[in-house]
Structure 1
Amino acid sequence: MENQEQGRQSFSKHLTQSEAKDRIIFFSYTDVAPFFEFQEGYMFFVNVTDSLGKAWTFIGTFYTNPEIGKYVSIKWPQFSSVKGLKANDEVIFMERPRRKSEAPWKKFKLVIKRKIRLFGQDIWGELKV
């Protein structure tokens, strides 16, 4: 999906209860295919910078399942634990432009949004931890 605010390509989702608990996030292949080159069963790295500027590396794997189709899993146990991710948190991976001195693989800014109730209204705020 196109992130109009930042003018960058992004993909996102709301975490399920099991994704928050197991610290593995799942994406449909079609959601993430434009961002990565996959080989089935092989791992790949997802390099991100969080809202505080800290760099993280996650491990992703591409799978094909005859019952559910193609999907990608991204493991991020330490990140999930440190950030205290919960079910229904929205995670947004925004592609960062590559600088000339950087390696050729893609890097992302990872934004986490959490819904809070304020004065009777639901508001999505960026989690800055």
Structure 2
Amino acid sequence: MKNNQEQIRQSFSKLLTQREVERRTVVFPFDTVASAFEFQEGQLFCIDAMDSLGKVWSFIGMFHNNEEFNNCVSICLHQFPVEKELKANDKITFTKRPLQKNARICKRFKVEIKRKIRLFGQDIWGELTV
């Protein structure tokens, strides 16, 4: 039987900046992602994330604990922004998925991208399925 903490669905999201899209690296405040990871300063960690089309992406992240970065986590997205044609103000969400038996040590997530469109005077967030 799983304990309550394992059953809690953990997710974190943010709106992408132009700089993050260009550099292909997204930066999250530490408080936003702390419950999803166990961090060691300066240590790289791996994330496997499945998109809405079922493709699995591997990202590399790092915890930064210094004045320049203000305690944050950076996740390098590699080719993901290019293939998904990401733009500034797109919303990226990572939702933690349970580990399977014999899984690699990478954390498993679902990654979802939403873009805001204006339709009949209303803002609507639609999922990108590129």
TM-score category, normalised to shorter length: 0.7 to 0.9
**What's the counterpart of residue 128 of structure 2?**
127
Give ranges in structure 1 of 5+ residues lacking alignment: 1-6
- Secondary structure of the residue that 2:42 maps to in structure 1? coil
Instruction: Supply the distance in 2 between the matched residues of 1:93 and 1:64 (Cα, whole angstroms).
Output: 22
1:30, CA displacement in angstroms?
A: 1.0
Amino acid at match of 2:96: E
CA distance in 1 between partners of 2:32 and 2:80 (Å): 22
Q: How does 1:18-37 map to 2 (within 5 A)?
A: 18-37=19-38
Normalising by the residue count of structure 2, what TM-score does the alignment of the two structures yield? 0.87
Q: Distance in 1 between matches of 2:127 and 2:102?
A: 30
1:105 is displaced (CA, Å) by 4.3
**Is 2:114 the partner of 1:113?**
yes
Displacement of 1:21 in angstroms is 1.5
- Does 1:64 find its partner at 2:62? no
Structure 2 matches for 1:2-17, cutoff 5 A?
8-17=9-18
Higher percent of residues as strand: 1
RMSD between aligned residues = 1.6
Q: Which whole-Å CA distance do the structure 2 matches of 1:92 and 1:30 have between them? A: 15
Structure 2 residue runs without a partner (length 5+)? 1-7
Q: 2:18 is aligned with what amino acid?
A: Q
* Aligned residue identity for 1:8: R
Does the CA-based 8 Å contact 1:59-1:74 persist in structure 2?
yes
> Where do 1:76-95 residues align within 5 Å?
76-95=77-96
Normalised by the length of structure 1, the TM-score is 0.87
| Aligned residue type for 1:46 | I
The count of aligned residue pairs is: 123
Query: Contact 1:41–1:63 at 8 Å: present in 2 too?
Result: yes
Sequence identity percentage: 55
